[in-house]
C-alpha cells in the first residue's frame, strides 16, 4: 500500500496545503475541487469528477467545510458511495458531526470500504509545513495503510478509537480554541483601551495562568498587524461551536461555556468579518468598544 494511488477531494485552505505536502513528498495526487484551477495550483493532477477520483485512487482524502457537504459528496447523485470499491479507504480530514461520520462509516462498510475520520489541528501554518496533529478514528489496518500519506502532512498522529472518535476529539479541541481566541481578543482590546503595552501584557499572560494557544501563537503577530490570514474563518468557527453543542447534547453534557464564543464569532460575522480569518474577531470586539485596533495601523 506504500504505492497506493491517492485522491483528494476538497482543495481549499487546508486540503490544498495538505495536497502540496503529499506531492512534495513524492506521492502523486489526483485532485478534485469546485475550483477548476485548484488542482494545478497545489501540484495535483486534476480530476473532472468524484467518479474519476474513485476510479483512479486507492486512498481518498476529504477536506470539506461541513457535514452537509460531506454527505452530499458521499451520498449524492454520482457521490462516493455510487462508485466506491471494496478495500478502498476514505480518510475524512474535515471538521464534521461525529454522529454523521459514524453513519457514513457504516454505509462504506456495507460496500466493503473503510472510512477513517482524521481530525486535524494546527491551522494553515502547520498544514503548509506538514506538521499537523491528527486525531484518528477507524479500522486499525486501514489506519496503518494511511501512515505513508500521513507522514507527509502530520508531525503527530493519535489513534482515538473507532469511527467517529477522531471527529469527536476534534470538536472538543476546536471548542477550546474558540473559547481561548474569543476570550483573549476581549482581554487584548481591554488592555489596549487601558493604555497597556500589549507586548508586555502578552509577556505577563504567557508567564502566568492565562497562557493559551492564542496568547502564545496568535496575538504576538496580531498586535503588530499580522492577522495570519488564510486559516479558519469566523463563519466556520461558529459552525464548529454549533457542532460542539450538538455533540454535548447527544452526550447529555451541559454546554455552559458555549455562549461566549457563539456571541463573539456571531458578532464578527454580523460586522462583515465572517469570511475572514477568525482572528479578526478581535476587530469586531474592538469595533463595538470604541473603534479599537490593537495595532496603530487602521484597516
pLDDT in tens, 10-40: 999 899 999 999 999 999 999 999 999 999 9
User: In this structure, are 43 and 156 located in the same domain?
Assistant: yes
Looking at 120, 142, 162, the residue that finishes a domain is 162
Instruction: Give the count of domains, the chain.
Output: 2
- Provide the pLDDT for residue 197: 98
User: In this structure, are 113 and 190 located in the same domain?
Assistant: no
Q: Find the range with the poorest average confidence among 2-11, 97-106, 182-191, 218-227.
A: 2-11
Is 60 a domain residue? yes
67: its cell numbers? 457535514
Is 114 a domain residue? yes
pLDDT score of 249 more than 90: yes
Q: What angle do CA 134, 93, 141 make, to 5 degrees?
A: 70
User: In this structure, are 240 and 96 located in the same domain?
Assistant: no
Looking at 140, 162, 184, the residue that finishes a domain is 162
User: In this structure, are 67 and 179 located in the same domain?
Assistant: no
User: In this structure, are 179 and 131 located in the same domain?
Assistant: no
The mean predicted confidence, pLDDT, of the chain is 95
pLDDT score of 255 more than 80: yes
d(CA 157, CA 135): 6
Domain range for 17 is 6-162
Is 297 a domain residue? no
- Percent of the chain whose pLDDT exceeds 90: 94
User: In this structure, are 187 and 115 located in the same domain?
Assistant: no
User: Could you report the per-residue pLDDT of 37-95, keeping only the tens digit for each?
Assistant: 999 999 999 999 999 999 999 999 999 999 999 999 999 999 999 999 999 999 999 99
Local confidence band at 299 (pLDDT 50, 70, 90 cut-offs):
very low
Q: Note whether 93 and 116 are within 8 A (CB).
A: no
Question: pTM for the whole thing?
Answer: 0.91
Sheet holding 114-121, edge to edge: 45-46, 29-32, 6-9, 59-62, 89-92, 114-121, 132-137, 154-161
pLDDT score of 298 more than 90: no
Query: Of 34, 156, 170, 200, which residue is the catalytic one?
Result: 170
pLDDT score of 260 more than 80: yes
**Does 170 participate in catalysis according to the annotation?**
yes
Is 12 a domain residue? yes
Amino acid at each position: 500500500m506504500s504505492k497506493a494511488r491517492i485522491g483528494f477531494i476538497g482543495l481549499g485552505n487546508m486540503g490544498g496545503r495538505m495536497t502540496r505536502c503529499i506531492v512534495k513528498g513524492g506521492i502523486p495526487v489526483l485532485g478534485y475541487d469546485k475550483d477548476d484551477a485548484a488542482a494545478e495550483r497545489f501540484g495535483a493532477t486534476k480530476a473532472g469528477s468524484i467518479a474519476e477520483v474513485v476510479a483512479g485512487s486507492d486512498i481518498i482524502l476529504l477536506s470539506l467545510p461541513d457535514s452537509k457537504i460531506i454527505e452530499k459528496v458521499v451520498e449524492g447523485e454520482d457521490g462516493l458511495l455510487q462508485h466506491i470499491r471494496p478495500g478502498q479507504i476514505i480518510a475524512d480530514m474535515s471538521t464534521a458531526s461525529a454522529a454523521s461520520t459514524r453513519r457514513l462509516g457504516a454505509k462504506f462498510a456495507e460496500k466493503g470500504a473503510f472510512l477513517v475520520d482524521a481530525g486535524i489541528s494546527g491551522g494553515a501554518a502547520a498544514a503548509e509545513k506538514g506538521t499537523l496533529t491528527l486525531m484518528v478514528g477507524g479500522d486499525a489496518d486501514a489506519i496503518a495503510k494511511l501512515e505513508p500519506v500521513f507522514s507527509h502532512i502530520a508531525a503527530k498522529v493519535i489513534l482515538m478509537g473507532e469511527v467517529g472518535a477522531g471527529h469527536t476529539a476534534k470538536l472538543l479541541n476546536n471548542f477550546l480554541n474558540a473559547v481561548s481566541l474569543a476570550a483573549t481578543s476581549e482581554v487584548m482590546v481591554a488592555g489596549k483601551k487601558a493604555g497597556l503595552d500589549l507586548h508586555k501584557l502578552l509577556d505577563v499572560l504567557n508567564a502566568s495562568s492565562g497562557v493559551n494557544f492564542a496568547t502564545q501563537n496568535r496575538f504576538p503577530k496580531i498586535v503588530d498587524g499580522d492577522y495570519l490570514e488564510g486559516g479558519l474563518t469566523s463563519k466556520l468557527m461558529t459552525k464548529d461551536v454549533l457542532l460542539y453543542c450538538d455533540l454535548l447534547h447527544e452526550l447529555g453534557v451541559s454546554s455552559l461555556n458555549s455562549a461566549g464564543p457563539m456571541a463573539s464569532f456571531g458578532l464578527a460575522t454580523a460586522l462583515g468579518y465572517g469570511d475572514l480569518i477568525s482572528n479578526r474577531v478581535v476587530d469586531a470586539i474592538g469595533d463595538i468598544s470604541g473603534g479599537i485596533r490593537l495595532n496603530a495601523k487602521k484597516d
